[in-house]
Structures are given as structure tokens and as C-alpha cells.
Amino acid sequence: YHIATIYAGLGDKDRALKWLDTAYNDRQNLLIFLKHDARLDNLRGDPRFQDLLRRVGFSQ
């Protein structure tokens, strides 16, 4: 999760989303912050991010 926030801050959406997917597969508990973490704001419009929110269980 932390690596994903670094890549998001650098503007590398593909790598950020890859690491978020890894965090999901590893069942990292930090994903509870996914919906409101401002460091991920530049990913929110990406369909892959929306899919991740759905998989984690957050309503869109």
C-alpha cells in the first residue's frame, strides 16, 4: 500500500495500481483507507481504481 502511494505521488498510475492490486491480493489492512487517502486522489478517475474500491467492498 505504501509503495502504491509513492507511485501515485510520482504520477505513475500504472505502477500505483499494480501495487494496490498487490496489497489487495496480500489482504493488507491498510486498504481500509483506500476511499479517503488523499495521496491516491489522482487515481480516483481510473476504472481500475473504481474496480478495486468495489472489490474491497466500498460503494462507489
Q: Indicate the DSSP class of residue 35.
A: T
- Match 505502477 to its residue by C-alpha cell: 15
* 7-59 residue pLDDT tens: 999 999 999 999 999 999 999 999 999 999 999 999 999 999 999 999 999 97
Other CB atoms closer than 10 Å to residue 4's CB: what's the count?
Answer: 26
Look up the pTM and report it. Answer: 0.92
Instruction: Enumerate the H helices of 1-60 as residue ranges.
Output: 2-9, 13-25, 47-56
Q: How many domains does the chain have?
A: 1
Distance CA 15, CA 55 (A): 19
Q: What range does the domain containing 17 cover?
A: 2-56
Computed over its alpha carbons, how large is the radius of gyration of the chain? 10
